[in-house]
Amino acid sequence: MFECKQCHKDFKPKRTGKTPKFCSRDCYKASKQPTLNKCLQCGEQTKTKFCNKSCAATYNNTIDPKRKKESLLWRQCAKCGNLTKNKKHCSMECRKKYKTPEEQYKAKRAIYNEANARYMARRKFQTPADENIKALQEFYASCPQGYEVDHIIPISKGGLHSLSNLQYLTKEDNRRKSNKLTNGSG
C-alpha cells in the first residue's frame, strides 16, 4: 500500500515497477495546478509572492523588524539623508544634484574620452562586438589624477579597444610613448 501525495489516501498500484506517487490521473493533474498564495504586501490571491510590481516595491522599500536581515542593508544617503540600499546615494537625481562641478566635469570628460577612443577603434573595426562598454567607461572614469588611459598596443598598430589592452600612464610617459609598442618609461 502507498499513500497518494495529493489526497493522502492509501492505494494499491495497478502496475508494478516504479514507485507510484498518485492514486489516479485526477490527483496527478490536481498536483500540477498552480497553488495560489497571498500577496506579501496586500494579501490578494496570486501565483507569485506579490500580485504586482507596486506591491513588490512597497514591500521591499519598507523596513520591517521581522525582516531584520534585510533592514541591515539600509543606509542613509550621503547627500540628502534619505534611507537607501545603495552605497552612497539614494537616486541618480541625488547623485547628479550633489556632485561637485569638478566631479561632474571629470565624469563627462571620461565618458567623452572613452567614446572618442571607441569611435577611432570602430573606424578600424578594432572594438570587439562583445566588449562591455560600461566597464570601459568605468575604467576611464576611475583614471587617477595626473594619469591618462593608454592602449598598450596602439590602435594605429592593430591593438583592440578592450579592457585587456588598456593601462594608466602618466601624461609625460603617454606623450613619450606616442604610438610605439613599448612603454615610454623604459
d(CA 65, CA 69): 9
pTM: 0.37
Those residues with Cβ within 8 angstroms of residue 160's Cβ, 6 or more apart along the chain or in another chain:
121, 126, 127, 128, 153
Residue 160: other Cβ atoms inside 10 A: 19
Nearest to 180 by CA among 147, 159, 153: 153
pLDDT by residue, tens only, the chain of 186 residues:
788 888 888 888 777 777 788 888 888 888 777 677 888 888 888 878 888 888 887 777 765 555 545 545 666 776 676 777 666 666 766 766 666 777 778 878 888 888 888 887 777 677 777 888 888 888 888 888 889 889 898 888 888 888 888 999 998 998 888 888 765 444
Query: What is the Cα Rg of the chain in Å?
Result: 30
Question: Which residues, 6 or more positions from 168, have their beta carbon under 8 angstroms from its beta carbon?
Answer: 143, 144, 147, 148, 149, 150
Dist. CA 62–CA 68, nearest whole Å: 11
Q: Judge contact between 114 and 132, C-beta under 8 A.
A: no
**Which residues on adjacent β-strands are paired with residue 132?**
none
